[in-house]
């Protein structure tokens, strides 16, 4: 057994999926849609699959040309700089592989990587597998009602930076809290990145899912940050197609070339037809951007209602949810119904997923009977 596999053998999702299969509970845990992607990307996928031999064979290793072009075109407008489709974009097997390539390409043994707690679980084992060291800094609640009330202290963050700090990982909108970082908060992180010459790995898979006017801001769009940020995205979350496993990393070509080295020597390339469909999806969204027909407007509008439904369901049984400003998840303090030993800061909270209609309805039923 290689040392890099030690201590990373347990996986939350592997375990949960098995438990869910064995006991068939109402699964408010794992977050993925229980509905189909929008018709236009389904049609694009079907068309791609029936579109002749090239759609069934390898395409360009670092991303199918139509997809890297449409990602570059779409995100140039948002980041506010000219993104080069061939240099600055890497298509990956979901956001997971984009993160994996970033850590493997940029973090050396002994390097430190700052992770903001609470965090999506994979950052920790991925840092460990590089031989680097994860250093944690918590978001702290100044009050409970909204994820916006959970804040990162500049002093506390600065106190964690050492000569070995290579990068900081941020996740906005955040999984599990749903915090959407405000420009001032991102600027504080950016100032420290620039001052201490740190890279920023920004996981933005829930970028289109914001509520109540919260605005997603890309840290890569702040002055001096494009050249040190790797922005990670996912078609799984963008088009509600988690099973397609199309993701991407976007950043300056001189950084991206190292992620490409990892990619070409691990998976080499991703499914062609799925990339073609995602490219078509982005082309459509580029044209409809900001209009009510855009899926990037329709999806959050739909989830906004589900968020409300879960919140009132939890409140109905005496739990106090932290209202998320973004994402698929809501956390609630369960101390009033269960009394766990609070060994860690976040142990009294549990996370509920509100994207799946079938589980929301079933959970509502159970909780109503129980209360």
Which residues are near ligand GLN by CB under 6 A? 13, 30-32, 175
> 59, 130, 229, 234: which one contacts ligand PMP (CB under 6 A)?
234
Provide, rounded to whole angstroms, the least separation between the CB of residue 353 and ligand PMP: 10
Complex with ligand GLN: residue 226 or 349, whichever CB lies closer: 349
Tokens encoding 110: 């002994």
DSSP secondary structure letter of residue 360 = H
Site for ligand PMP in 284-303 (CB under 6 A): none
Burial of 115: CB neighbours in 10 Å, binned 0-12, 13-18, 19+: buried
354 binds ligand PMP (CB under 6 A): no
Site for ligand PMP in 172-191 (CB under 6 A): 175
- C-alpha span between 331 and 353 (Å, rounded): 9
Of the candidates 274, 256, 275, the one whose C-alpha atom is nearest the C-alpha of residue 264 is 256
Provide, rounded to whole angstroms, the least separation between the CB of residue 251 and ligand PMP: 16
Report the half-sphere exposure of 118 (CA within 13 A, side-chain side). 19
Torsion angles phi and psi, residue 317, rounded to 5: -110, 20
Cα maximum dimension of the chain: 59
Site for ligand PMP in 239-268 (CB under 6 A): 242, 247
171 binds ligand PMP (CB under 6 A): yes
Rounded (10°) CA dihedral 40, 45, 49, 55 = 120
C-alpha distances in Å from residue 25, one per residue of 67, 358, 363: 38, 12, 10
Residues forming beta bridges with residue 248, ordered by sequence position: 91, 233
Tokens 């994996």, residue? 100
Q: Which one of ligand GLN, ligand PMP, none interacts with residue 285, CB within 5 to 8 A by kind?
A: none
Complex with ligand PMP: residue 130 or 242, whichever CB lies closer: 242
Provide, rounded to whole angstroms, the least separation between the CB of residue 35 and ligand PMP: 16
Residue window 41-80: x/- pattern of binding to ligand PMP, with contact defined by CB under 6 A: ----------------------------------------
Q: Which one of ligand GLN, ligand PMP, none interacts with residue 13, CB within 5 to 8 A by kind?
A: ligand GLN
Residue facing ligand PMP at closest CB distance: 94
Provide, rounded to whole angstroms, the least separation between the CB of residue 35 and ligand GLN: 16
Which residues lie closer than 8 Å to 3 by C-beta, 6 or more apart? none
236 binds ligand PMP (CB under 6 A): yes
CB 143 within 8 A of CB 168: no
Stretch that binds ligand PMP, among 94-102, 207-215, 253-261, 272-280 (CB under 6 A): 94-102
> 126, 152, 205, 255: which one contacts ligand PMP (CB under 6 A)?
205
Complex with ligand PMP: residue 139 or 161, whichever CB lies closer: 139
Residues forming beta bridges with residue 117, ordered by sequence position: 138
210 binds ligand PMP (CB under 6 A): no
Q: Computed from CA positions of residues 338, 136, 220, 123, in that sequence, does the dihedral angle turn out positive or negative?
A: negative
Cα–chain-centroid distance for residue 217? 14
Site for ligand PMP in 100-129 (CB under 6 A): 120
Q: Which one of ligand GLN, ligand PMP, none interacts with residue 30, CB within 5 to 8 A by kind?
A: ligand GLN
Provide, rounded to whole angstroms, the least separation between the CB of residue 236 and ligand PMP: 4
Q: In what order do the strands lie in the sheet with 133-138?
A: 89-93, 246-250, 229-234, 199-203, 165-171, 112-117, 133-138
- Give the footprint of ligand PMP on this chain (CB under 6 A): 94-96, 120, 171, 175, 203, 205, 234, 236, 242, 247
């Amino acid at each position: 057994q290689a040392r890099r596999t030690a201590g990373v053998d347990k996986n939350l999702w592997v375990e949960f999926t098995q438990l869910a299969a064995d006991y068939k509970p109402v699964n408010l845990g794992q977050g993925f849609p229980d509905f189909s992607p929008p018709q236009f990307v389904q049609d694009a996928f079907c068309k791609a699959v029936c579109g002749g031999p090239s759609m069934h064979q390898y395409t360009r290793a670092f991303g199918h040309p139509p997809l890297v072009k449409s990602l570059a075109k779409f995100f140039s407008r948002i980041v506010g700089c000219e993104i080069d489709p061939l240099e600055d974009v890497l298509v990956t097997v979901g956001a997971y592989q984009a993160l994996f390539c970033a850590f493997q390409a940029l973090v050396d043994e002994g390097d430190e990587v700052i992770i903001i707690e609470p965090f999506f679980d994979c950052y920790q084992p991925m840092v460990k597998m590089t031989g680097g060291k994860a250093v944690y800094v918590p978001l702290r609640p100044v009050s409970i009602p909204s994820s916006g009330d959970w804040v990162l202290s500049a002093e506390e963050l600065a106190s964690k930076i050492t000569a070995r700090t290579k990068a900081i990982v941020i996740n906005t909108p955040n999984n599990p809290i749903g915090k959407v970082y405000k420009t001032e908060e991102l600027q504080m992180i950016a100032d420290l990145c620039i001052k201490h010459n740190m890279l920023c790995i920004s996981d933005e898979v829930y970028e289109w899912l914001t509520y109540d006017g919260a605005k997603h801001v890309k840290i890569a769009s702040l002055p001096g940050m494009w050249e040190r940020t790797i922005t990670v995205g996912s078609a799984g979350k963008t088009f509600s197609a988690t099973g397609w496993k199309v993701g991407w990393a976007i950043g300056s070509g001189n950084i991206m070339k190292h992620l490409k080295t990892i990619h070409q020597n691990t998976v080499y390339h991703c499914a062609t037809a799925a990339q073609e469909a995602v490219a078509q999806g982005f082309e459509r969204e580029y044209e409809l951007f900001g209009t009510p027909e855009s899926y990037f407007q329709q999806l959050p509008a739909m989830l906004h209602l589900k968020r409300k439904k879960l919140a009132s369901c939890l409140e109905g049984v005496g739990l106090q949810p932290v209202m998320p400003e973004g994402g698929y998840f809501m956390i609630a303090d369960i101390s009033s119904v269960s009394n766990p030993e609070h060994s860690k800061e976040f142990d009294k909270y549990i996370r509920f997923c509100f994207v799946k209609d079938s589980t929301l309805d079933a959970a509502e039923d159970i909780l109503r009977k129980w209360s």
